[in-house]
Chain A
Amino acid sequence: MSGAVLSLPVAVPLLAAAMLVAMPRRRRLHLVTGVAVTGGILLLGGAVLATAVGGTVLTLDIGGWPPGFAITLAADAFSALMLTVSALLVLASLAYAAVADEGGPLFTPLTLILSAGVYGAFLTADLFNLFVFVEVMLTPSYALLTMTGGGRGAAGRIYVTVSLLASMIFLAGVALVYSVTGTVNLGELAGAARHSTAAALACSVVLLALAAKAAVVPLHTWLPRTYPAAPAPVMVLFSGLLTKVGVYAIIRVYAVVFAGAPQYRWVIMTAALLTMVIGILGTIGEQTMREILAFDMVSQIGYILLGLALFSTAGLAAAIFYLVQYVLVQAALLVAAGTVETSHGGGTLGKPSGLAHRDPLLAVAFMIPASSLAGLPPLSGFIAKLSLIQAAVAKNSYLAAAIATAVSFLTLLAMIKIWRGVFAGREAAATARPGGRPHALRAARPALIAPGLALAVPAIVLGIWAQPLFTAATAAADGLTSTAAYVQAVGR
């Protein structure tokens, strides 16, 4: 396979989005185009992944300049894996937005632009282009959040302001890196921050901005205040893509530019443990499903960073496995929460209640990913958490292993809190009162539950049949602990 295919995930969605914006109000055409483009990228991602797992790094230098000046795109196993799972998530949120009829008339084109930025961020091998692709990703996200009802108020403004501030810090970091090292190409920056304190300081500005985008404690407070205000399909999209690009970039920059420098690992370890604990403690005070899930998202980022802080092949493989399965599990939970809101008149705990009787299918669609998130066997979250804790113990990080275990119990408690509030017990009399919504007593439409159930399937499959994904994750982790192949492919 030639490296030229790497331009497709960036170019095709942008062209398709431009075409769709010119033809508003043709919703079926929008949906078909969106699904066709994203499905194609999913297949392409799978093909690139199959090549990359063998250790080949595909590269493409756009513009005819030598590497270092050209726009370099590269796909190793980690990039290819993220590309594939992102395409799957975009597909799921397109389908969910179509059946839920939420997200506004421009949902499909904006999602395509956003996804082009996300794919570009996963493929680029250059810090400045990472900034550009992150902006390509964020600009439609501002529009998605503020064009649709709930995000118009304070939430939309907080989101836009925090994202812009993080972008400014990112760009300042890129400027500092360039002035210290004279390059922004990851191949040429390889190991620079490990040996030079000035380069490490410059890069830490970049990492700080990425940590704000990934909602790492103490830079997490914007996320639980903004995401729940978005319509459910938009939140599915955001939760699966935006913060994950931040996490991906942190892992990539730390592995390549810092070369896993052991003297700074304690910073990442501290941030990881704090993120886990503070995120899950935040769920205690929240009273709606999606607000609890938003704090859970913060907490789960900590697990992924824990794997990076260990910086062993086993730790990174566990982190990457965790990241991939978690994107799908979180999307399944949010689809279930969104369906509860649209079909049963709200997502507040205790407002719709006793849904397990009235709507058993929806209860299953919530319960499977919730159990996976909490790490119950035989689901994918169990494998992810177990391998992460094993990797921590292997590196003698007993405190980290203990905290990770404790936090997964607290995650289970948070899920039980939702279950007790919304699904278990009897229906409250309030929902049956006249004046409630007329359809409030019926079950949700099966078409609405279908995307959630479809997203719950990977949680089961990846739990029972984890080996293929684990092999891919290990290949990706190998490429991060020994970056020689990647560096040689993208450098001058």
Chain B
Amino acid sequence: MTAAIAVGILVAGGVFLILRPGLARITVGFILLGHAVNILLIAADGAGRRGAPLTGEGDLARMADPLPQAFVLTAIVISFGITVYLLALVRASRRTGKPDSDPDDPGPSQ
């Protein structure tokens, strides 16, 4: 249940930020969405109803599935790389002095 609530809040925040103008907000939005999906992946191992998947920590049959942790590790590496790339894009658009939102967008109200 905790995981579901956390995923819900993160997705709501992520989607809100992605729909805002400006690449920097979109980047933060994708960081939040990435975390949401990672929690969803972790929740797939059944840790909520089983023991922690650590060797030497009790019965193998009652242990949570360790494979989603390997998935999440890979997903974190990928989303880290993408975040760095997006930040580089933000920086590049700052340097060229071009606005980083759509030209046909009204932009944030000021």
Q: Are A128 and B71 in contact (CB under 8 A)?
A: yes
Q: Are A168 and B65 in contact (CB under 8 A)?
A: no
The B26-64 residues at the A interface (CB cut-off 8 A) are 26, 30, 33-34, 36-37, 40-41, 43-44, 46
The A119-169 residues at the B interface (CB cut-off 8 A) are 128, 131-132, 135, 139, 142-143, 146, 152-154, 156-157, 160-161, 164-165, 168
B34, B40, B82: the one within 8 Å of A175 (CB) = B40
Closest residue on chain B to residue A180 by CB atoms = B44
**Central interface residue in A132, A154, A178, A182, by most chain B CB within 10 Å:** A178
A171 at the interface (CB under 8 A from B): yes
Q: Are B26 and A161 in contact (CB under 8 A)?
A: yes
A21 CB to closest chain B CB, in angstroms? 15
Whether A165 touches B86, Cβ cut-off 8 Å, given contacts A139-B81, A172-B40, A178-B44, is no
Whether A171 touches B75, Cβ cut-off 8 Å, given contacts A153-B98, A157-B23, A176-B40, is yes
- Residues on A with C-beta less than 8 A from B96 are 152
Q: Are B89 and A154 in contact (CB under 8 A)?
A: no
- Residues on B with C-beta less than 8 A from A179 are 43-44, 46
Task: Kindly state the separation between the CA atoms of A153 and B93 in the bound complex, as whole angstroms.
Answer: 9
Closest residue on chain B to residue A179 by CB atoms = B44
Q: Are B41 and A171 in contact (CB under 8 A)?
A: yes
Q: Are A164 and B30 in contact (CB under 8 A)?
A: yes
Interface residues of A: mostly helix, strand, loop or mixed?
helix
Whether A175 touches B18, Cβ cut-off 8 Å, given contacts A139-B82, A161-B26, is no
A69 at the interface (CB under 8 A from B): yes
B16 at the interface (CB under 8 A from A): no
- Residues on B with C-beta less than 8 A from A391 are none
A370 at the interface (CB under 8 A from B): no
The A200-247 residues at the B interface (CB cut-off 8 A) are none
A376 at the interface (CB under 8 A from B): no
Task: Kindly state the separation between the CA atoms of A47 and B37 in the bound complex, as whole angstroms.
Answer: 40
Q: Are B68 and A168 in contact (CB under 8 A)?
A: no
- Residues on B with C-beta less than 8 A from A165 are 18, 33
B46, B74, B82, B100: the one within 8 Å of A132 (CB) = B74
A61 CB to closest chain B CB, in angstroms? 15
A332 at the interface (CB under 8 A from B): no
A272 at the interface (CB under 8 A from B): no
- Residues on B with C-beta less than 8 A from A116 are none
B103 at the interface (CB under 8 A from A): yes
Counting contact residues on chain B (CB < 8 A from A), the size range is 20 to 34
- Residues on A with C-beta less than 8 A from B87 are none
- Residues on B with C-beta less than 8 A from A174 are 41, 71
- Residues on A with C-beta less than 8 A from B81 are 139
Q: Are A175 and B103 in contact (CB under 8 A)?
A: no
Q: Are B89 and A175 in contact (CB under 8 A)?
A: no
- Residues on B with C-beta less than 8 A from A182 are 65
1/0 contact string of B60-103 vs chain A (CB within 8 Å): 00000101100100110010011001100100110010101011
Task: Kindly state the separation between the CA atoms of A180 and B31 in the bound complex, as whole angstroms.
Answer: 26
- Residues on B with C-beta less than 8 A from A135 are 78, 82
Task: Kindly state the separation between the CA atoms of A220 and B81 in the bound complex, as whole angstroms.
Answer: 26
Whether A139 touches B85, Cβ cut-off 8 Å, given contacts A175-B43, A179-B43, is yes
Task: Kindly state the separation between the CA atoms of A154 and B105 in the bound complex, as whole angstroms.
Answer: 10
B19 CB to closest chain A CB, in angstroms? 10
B45 CB to closest chain A CB, in angstroms? 8
A173 CB to closest chain B CB, in angstroms? 10
A158 CB to closest chain B CB, in angstroms? 8
B77 CB to closest chain A CB, in angstroms? 10
**Central interface residue in A154, A156, A161, A164, by most chain B CB within 10 Å:** A164
B48 CB to closest chain A CB, in angstroms? 11
Closest residue on chain B to residue A146 by CB atoms = B89
The B4-19 residues at the A interface (CB cut-off 8 A) are 18
- Residues on B with C-beta less than 8 A from A142 are 85
Task: Kindly state the separation between the CA atoms of A487 and B5 in the bound complex, as whole angstroms.
Answer: 37
- Residues on B with C-beta less than 8 A from A131 are 75
A143, A154, A175: the one within 8 Å of B41 (CB) = A175
Task: Kindly state the separation between the CA atoms of A178 and B100 in the bound complex, as whole angstroms.
Answer: 38
Q: Are B68 and A161 in contact (CB under 8 A)?
A: no
5 closest A-B pairs (Cβ-Cβ)? A179-B44, A175-B41, A175-B40, A178-B44, A154-B102
A-B contact pairs, 14 of them (CB 8 A): A128-B74, A132-B74, A132-B78, A143-B85, A153-B98, A157-B89, A157-B102, A161-B18, A171-B75, A172-B40, A175-B40, A178-B68, A178-B71, A179-B43
